Amino acid sequence: MANICDNRFFLSNVGNDEDFKRIKHRLIESIGIEDADFYGEITYCDDDFVEGWFESRWSFPDEEFEAMITEGTEVYFRCLSEEYGMGYVALNVYKDEAWMSEQTFDL
């Protein structure tokens, strides 16, 4: 059985409504329905931001999110990921149209 990573995220609109609506829709499809890509829940959603949580294996699923939120996209996204079995705690942030380096903490 794989170690389960808990991911808490926040997505905000910072200027481009089309970018925000596309990613918001993709998150709702990926997280908020049965048999979705990630098991989780959208805990709040309105016209300006979305927040929620999802589970993944081992760590933050960066490849999936980098495909969803590409360089130049006008949104703000952050995700705090925790998998205590392996001592993994990380913060992934997308702002100013680029992904920041993942910040990890050595437990």
Q: What is the pLDDT of residues 13-71, one digit of tens each?
A: 998 899 999 999 999 888 876 666 778 999 999 999 999 999 998 899 999 999 999 99
Average pLDDT, stretch 75-87?
A: 93
Q: d(Cα 104, Cα 26) in Å, to the nearest integer? A: 26
* Cβ-based neighbour number of residue 101 at 10 Å: 7
pLDDT the model gives residue 15: 85
Flag whether pLDDT at 1 surpasses 60.
no
Average pLDDT, stretch 1-17?
A: 89
Average pLDDT, stretch 91-102?
A: 95
This prediction's pTM: 0.90
Distance of CA 98 to the CA centre of its chain: 14
Burial state string for 21-32 with b = 16 or more CB within 10 A and e = fewer than 16: eebbebbeebbb
CB neighbour class for 47 (10 Å; exposed up to 12, middle 13-18, buried from 19): exposed
